[in-house]
Amino acid sequence: MNILHRTVELTGMRAVRLHGVGALASRLYVYLAGFAALFLMAAHVSPSDFGEYSIYQSVMEVALVVAMLGSPLLFARHAATVPPGVRRGDVVRTLAIGLPLAALLSAAVLRIQHLPVAGAPFALLMAALAVFSFMSLRLSYSRGLGRAGLLNLEGGIRSTILVIGVAAFVAWGAELRATQLLLINLLAFLLVGAACMQTRWVVGPPPGRAALELASQGSATVYSLLMFLLRKSDLLVVAFFMPLGYVGAFKIAFLLAEAPSQFVQAFLYTKTRPMLGTDATSSDGSELRLAKHSFLLGCALFAGLAVVITAAAPLLKVGREALEIFLCMAPYFLLRTYTVHHEMLLALKVPMGSLGWWALAEVLLRLLSYGAVVSIFPGKPHYVFFIAAVSDLLLYEVRMRALFGFFPLARLVRGSFPRPS
């Protein structure tokens, strides 16, 4: 082999490893800052105000999908095309259509939750949503060009600002209600949004009229909403029929249980190019090593988080209930550290229409599971994650079998794939 080619190859391998370590370090910072903010609020904010703030945050997450018309994926995909497939006109048009729709959706959800839609909390929520939507589109475009540093860090920066703000209120002895938390949150978005305007950190779309097709944005919106409903709507579902104190405990448990799969996902983002190069017609199963390594990483992270929540539970007003919920969620989210590999690989290799139908099937199955659990175990909606652990594993194994011709779990157990040369 040519020595120069070999040198370049080795340098590329080292770069991939460094990117992977950097992604894990960024995710670690995001979660440490997020947990600090979460625990600080749980310790100094009443359960009802903490639960109300949690609902506002969950409403913002689903409204964000509509505000951006599901376009972050499209911005990332088309950023590196020649000529660029995304222009500043796409940002303007997307927000002009998406933000009013997101405001209507937010108002409807809050009305169902018996929270006011006229007043300071709703105004602060909408202001934060506008800033969040704009900066997320810029970050997604920059990610498509290979610059994802601030994208990986922005959640941690916002949580750090929230910690500082809450600590300042506590030090001054000022009242901390949901409105004050939303105000601090808006300040955090404004500061991160200002950083997103720095071209040395984030690259935005070039000038020009909108280039994306509205039909493609519509399809992306539907798919993104389905994925949100599947992965992020549990808090909203629970809030429909449970008291606010339980909602706060559920949020703590959910964020802790979800953390390992988020770490794994950040790690797998650095492996996107190898995944794109996977050929389903000639696969020997060697790409499944990523799924195995992801699961082992998830096991180690879960062990550490179990110690964290056990130690922190006595210090929190809803700690005991949060610990119980966490233990019920653990089997599902531990398996997620394995199936997230399949989810990402399928998202890269399967047509969008097919992805949408599978996502719809998973959403319907989850809702049916909630209905069954609530009718059999009133007051214990977190038991649904026992069903989800089994159903998700089966669904992803079947989908991978349809694409690659083998069941990944069976192949991993047998270990019947060649070793790397």
Ranges of residues in the chain with a pLDDT under 70 are 1-21, 269-270, 272-287, 315, 317-318, 348, 352, 415-421
Residue 277's pLDDT is: 62
133-166 residue pLDDT tens = 999 999 988 877 777 778 778 888 999 999 999 9
Q: pLDDT tens digit string along 251-292? A: 888 888 888 888 887 777 667 656 656 665 656 556 677 788
pTM metric for this prediction: 0.76
**In this structure, what token pair is assigned to residue 379?**
């007051």
